[in-house]
Structure 1
Amino acid sequence: MSSEAPGKSTLIVTSGLSRNAIIIRLEGELDVTALQVLREHLQRIWDLPPKPFLILDLGELSFCDSMGMNELVDIMQRCEARGTRLLLGGVQGVMARVLSITGLRHAFEVFAQLDDALRTAVAQPG
């Protein structure tokens, strides 16, 4: 699956499945103009039967504003309600700074590399 915002948004959202995880890759800018694209993509994910893990690959995000951070918190809460563990992979640079500045670094399971998040999901029974 792939989604791109019409107009000015510069967020590209793609997703795939692994054995016990859904992986969503965000590329570009996660800001107020991109929220609708992300929400539409996520709605298709929420309509699927829950998997044990949802991995957000944030390695290609170049920007995240407060609305984007609010959306990540909403995703975390939705995952908790579904019994799904949310893992953030590729958290470096911009996203590492944003999570640190907002005080949300410890609210999420954060991995500097996507591969580390994937290994965590694979190591768990699914």
Structure 2
Amino acid sequence: MPESAHTAQSLATLEARPRCLATIRTQVAGERTVVTCRGELDTGAHVLRPELYAALDRSVTGVDLDLGEVAFCDCGGLNVLLDLRREALDQGKTVTVRTCGPTVGRLLDLTGARELFASGRPGSPDGSAPDAEVVPGPEEQLRRMHADRELRLDVDQLRRTMRSAPRPAAPRYTTAPSV
């Protein structure tokens, strides 16, 4: 027998939300804070926002993310990282991806987000060599904010397309007329 609507549990309750399968560790390194993530950054990663924002607040120029031990990352995890980046831009700081494994790297490449987390440091295309930090000017911050917004729209449209796309019909096989 179906459950009545007034007894159904809301999806907004804590029990219905996915649990976080990731952990983070922070370490202040000069003017920047290094955040090392482990586990899975998925829809449950939203609970990491307060700790990530606190790491950003403790830094002078921004946060360097070490995502080398992240085994899985989906759009939910990417949104957490993009939110951190937007908060950093609001504070005149940056968020860079120092290292990442193939799973996160593929997601960043497929969504075009890798450039949003580039180091901006001369001589360190992969962000691993901590040279002098280049803090973007107001025009660059505005450009990045627009790119961030467009990326979010693209990801949202991709999700909608994937949910609503018709499945391809099975191929039809016909027999050739006999001669």
Instruction: Tell me the residue number matched to 1:34.
Output: 45
Equivalent residues in 2 for 1:59-98 (5 A)?
A: 59-98=68-107
TM-score normalised by length of structure 1: 0.76
Q: Secondary structure in 2 aligned to 1:83? A: coil
Give the letter aligned to residue 40 of structure 2. E
CA separation in 2, counterparts of 1:40 and 1:54?
14
Instruction: Tell me the residue number matched to 2:32.
Output: 21
Structure 1's consecutive aligned runs of 4 or more residues displaced over 4 angstroms after TM superposition are 110-114
CA separation in 1, counterparts of 2:94 and 2:54?
18
Higher share of residues assigned strand: 1
Between the two structures, name the one with larger relative contact order (CA 8 Å, sep ≥ 6): 1
Q: Secondary structure in 1 aligned to 2:115? A: coil
CA separation in 2, counterparts of 1:11 and 1:112?
27
TM-score normalised by length of structure 2: 0.55
- Please tell me whether the aligned partners of residues 26 and 58 of structure 1 are also in contact (alpha carbons under 8 angstroms): yes
- Closer/same/farther in 2, CA of residues 91 and 71 from structure 1, 3 Å limit: same
CA separation in 2, counterparts of 1:43 and 1:84?
12
Q: Alignment identity in percent?
A: 27
How far has the Cα of 1:32 moved from its partner? 1.1
Unaligned runs of 5+ in 1: 1-6
Give the letter aligned to residue 33 of structure 2. I
Q: Secondary structure in 2 aligned to 1:35? A: helix
CA separation in 2, counterparts of 1:15 and 1:113?
20
Unaligned runs of 5+ in 2: 1-17, 135-179
CA separation in 2, counterparts of 1:100 and 1:46?
24
Q: How many residues align?
A: 113
- Please tell me whether the aligned partners of residues 92 and 112 of structure 1 are also in contact (alpha carbons under 8 angstroms): no
